[in-house]
């Protein structure tokens, strides 16, 4: 699919959520409409200069965190609590955005503790609702609908669909292609280098580290002019973190105890920096999920099994990023303390894609380009499972843009009477 086809929904999503960044003209990361960027931290300025020397871009990241008031949500006050949930709604989340907006329509019934077991089908194999377990009472409940949308977060969507076995769909609903659960992709994460910048050691600490927000990034710069300039295909991004965070993670790099130890921790506190690589995997027939024939959860629902290994391409990116860190620290006048010996284990990034991938051919793909399953036209999927693979950027913005597009298409199908109204 061409980016132009989806870009109006990216703009719609950005206008709704509010994304802080800058226009960057990067060939692999299209620009959008942004709020003012998050301010750089001290070390960002030093690393940006160093990146210029080694020919690597170093730019403000794209953060769904409000640097100014937006859509009746207040600007961030930089308390640093984002990953535990923002108290004022300055960080995009369904709790502050989509759920209140849906409630305001007065047409939303929100069921909590409802663990969906499977999609129910009628005689023709069309979706007619879902069966769920009420986790509080353990009661089995069925709810009916003219259209079913699954958005349970990638692998859980495949889990529900693989568990939706019936006479019409013996291997799982909408799985005539046999592709349900296949082609699992992920982002390889790891720290290819960490150390400190002597220029900043001993400086007074400043609260410049805004919780989990990745203020800056080194967007993919490899294989852009020539897709074969590196040993690997495609490319990866790097995010630099450090500075005065909540906890001095460098305590392991410093030896000693008592007062002297504390003084050293304090001295290095504003000066430590480290990279995080985000490298996309390629689809592989050996990376997939399926239903465990024996294991069930406490509600008797068959569990999912994972079959996954890092591939050669992303491991080459990993090695490449370690050399980049060596060059970067040298150019910045920094001291490199080390790097992870191996990347993080699969699943760490929480950016899985691919297990219900979209495409035109019903024999090879689970859904069409509207995220409507080929086999069951009144069954839609709204999460990252439809993406054929991941890019060097995170998944949430594409999920929201594609979901908005799928909803528009679904509403049009309802208007045209292609789905029966309940
Ligand atoms: C700590 C953390 C940091 C992250 N940081 C970033 C980031 O900086 N940028 C980024 O782009 N992404 C980030 N991600 C990833 C991002 O959160 C996910 O990509 C995104 O939330 C996926 O959206 P989703 O709607 O598909 O799934 P979710 O947001 O997980 O929503 C799925 C919903 O379905 C429900 N559900 C699941 N199974 C069932 C079932 N059987 N029955 C009923 N309900 C069910 C779940 O309870 C949940 O409410 C981060 C994730 C984590 C955990
Ligand atoms: S730092 Fe995070 S938690 Fe605090 S106001 Fe800003 S967005 Fe919300």
Nearest CA to ligand 1 atom 16: 396
93 C-beta closer than 6 A to ligand 1:
no
83 C-beta closer than 6 A to ligand 1:
yes
Q: Is the pLDDT of residue 211 over 70?
A: no
Over range 83-92, report the average pLDDT: 90
Q: Is the pLDDT of residue 94 over 60?
A: yes
350 C-beta closer than 6 A to ligand 1:
yes
Q: Which atom of ligand 1 is nearest to the CA of 384?
A: 26
Nearest CA to ligand 2 atom 4: 79
115 C-beta closer than 6 A to ligand 1:
yes
Q: Which atom of ligand 1 is nearest to the CA of 115?
A: 42
131 C-beta closer than 6 A to ligand 1:
no
Confidence of residue 421 (pLDDT cuts 50, 70, 90): low
Over range 370-396, report the average pLDDT: 95
Position 290 scores a pLDDT of 98
Q: Is 305 exposed, middle or buried (0-12, 13-18, 19+ CB in 10 A)?
A: middle
Nearest CA to ligand 2 atom 8: 86
Distance separating alpha carbons of residues 260 and 122, to the nearest angstrom:
72
Q: Is the pLDDT of residue 422 over 70?
A: no
pLDDT digits 0-9 by tens, 305-315: 999 999 999 99
Position 212 scores a pLDDT of 59
152 C-beta closer than 6 A to ligand 1:
yes
151 C-beta closer than 6 A to ligand 1:
yes
Position 108 scores a pLDDT of 96
Distance separating alpha carbons of residues 263 and 3, to the nearest angstrom:
52
Position 378 scores a pLDDT of 97
Q: Is the pLDDT of residue 420 over 80?
A: no
Q: Is the pLDDT of residue 356 over 90?
A: yes
164 C-beta closer than 6 A to ligand 1:
no
Helix axes 42-54, 312-331, angle to 10 degrees: 110
Nearest CA to ligand 1 atom 18: 396
- As a whole number, the mean pLDDT across the chain is 94
pLDDT digits 0-9 by tens, 119-160: 999 999 999 999 999 999 999 999 999 999 999 999 999 999
List, in order of start, the domains of the chain with CATH numbers: 3-415 (3.50.50)
Q: Which atom of ligand 2 is nearest to the CA of 210?
A: 1
Nearest CA to ligand 1 atom 26: 153
Q: Strand, coil or helix: what is 312? A: helix
Over range 87-108, report the average pLDDT: 95
Distance separating alpha carbons of residues 311 and 308, to the nearest angstrom:
9
CB 209 within 8 A of CB 242: yes
Over range 10-23, report the average pLDDT: 95
Confidence of residue 3 (pLDDT cuts 50, 70, 90): confident
Over range 343-364, report the average pLDDT: 96
Position 142 scores a pLDDT of 98
Distance separating alpha carbons of residues 382 and 151, to the nearest angstrom:
5
Task: Dig out the tokens for 67 from the structure.
Answer: 């640097």
Position 105 scores a pLDDT of 97
Q: Which residues contact 200 (CB under 8 A, 6 or more apart)?
A: 42, 43, 46, 270, 271
Over range 149-172, report the average pLDDT: 98
Over range 272-298, report the average pLDDT: 97
Confidence of residue 253 (pLDDT cuts 50, 70, 90): confident
Q: Strand ranges (DSSP E) for 184-254?
A: 187-190, 194-196, 216-217, 237-242
> What is the number of other CB atoms lying within 10 angstroms of the CB of residue 230?
14
Q: Which atom of ligand 2 is nearest to the CA of 79?
A: 4
Give the percent of the chain with pLDDT over 90: 88
Position 225 scores a pLDDT of 93
Nearest to 152 by CA among 355, 422, 2: 355
Give the percent of the chain with pLDDT over 70: 99
Position 2 scores a pLDDT of 81
Name the residue of 38, 41, 65 to mutate for ligand 2: max ligand atoms within 8 A of Cβ.
Answer: 65
Confidence of residue 51 (pLDDT cuts 50, 70, 90): very high
């Amino acid at each position: 699919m061409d980016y132009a086809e989806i870009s109006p929904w990216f703009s719609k999503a950005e206008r709704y959520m509010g994304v802080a960044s800058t226009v960057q003209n990067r060939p692999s990361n299209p620009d959008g409409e942004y709020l003012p960027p998050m301010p750089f931290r001290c070390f960002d300025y030093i690393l940006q200069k160093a990146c210029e020397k080694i020919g690597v871009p170093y730019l403000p990241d794209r953060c769904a965190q409000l640097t100014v008031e937006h859509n009746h949500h207040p600007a961030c006050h930089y308390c640093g609590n984002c990953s535990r949930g923002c108290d004022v709604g300055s960080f995009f989340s369904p709790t502050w955005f989509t759920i209140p907006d849906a409630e305001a329509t007065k047409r939303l019934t929100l069921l909590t503790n409802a663990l969906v077991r499977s999609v129910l089908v009628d005689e023709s194999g069309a979706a007619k609702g879902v069966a769920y377990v009420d986790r509080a009472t353990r009661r089995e409940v069925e709810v009916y609908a003219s259209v079913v949308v699954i958005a349970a977060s990638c692998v859980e969507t495949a889990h529900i669909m693989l568990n939706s076995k019936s006479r019409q769909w013996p291997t799982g609903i909408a799985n005539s292609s046999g592709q349900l659960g296949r082609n699992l992709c992920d982002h390889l994460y790891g720290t290819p280098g960490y150390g400190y910048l002597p220029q900043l050691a001993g400086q007074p600490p400043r609260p410049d580290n805004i919780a989990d927000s990745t203020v800056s990034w080194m967007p993919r710069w490899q294989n852009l002019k020539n897709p074969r300039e590196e040993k690997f295909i495609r490319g990866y991004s790097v995010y630099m973190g450090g500075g005065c965070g909540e906890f001095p993670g460098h305590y392991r790099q410093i030896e000693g105890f008592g007062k002297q130890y504390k003084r050293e921790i304090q001295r290095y506190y504003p000066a430590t920096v480290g990279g995080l690589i985000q490298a996309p995997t390629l689809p592989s027939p050996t990376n997939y999920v399926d239903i465990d024939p024996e294991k069930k959860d406490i509600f008797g629902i068959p569990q999912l099994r994972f079959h996954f290994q890092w591939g050669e391409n992303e491991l080459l990116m990993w090695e490449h990023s370690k050399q980049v860190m060596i060059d970067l620290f040298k150019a910045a006048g920094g001291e490199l303390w080390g790097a992870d010996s191996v990347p993080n284990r699969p699943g760490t990034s929480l950016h899985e894609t691919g297990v219900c991938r979209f495409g035109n051919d019903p024999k090879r793909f689970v859904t069409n380009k509207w995220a409507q399953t080929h086999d069951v036209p009144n069954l839609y999927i709204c999460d990252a499972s439809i993406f054929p693979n991941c890019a060097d950027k995170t998944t949430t913005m594409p999920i929201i843009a594609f979901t908005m597009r799928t909803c528009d298409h679904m509403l049009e199908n309802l208007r045209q009477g292609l789905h029966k109204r309940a």
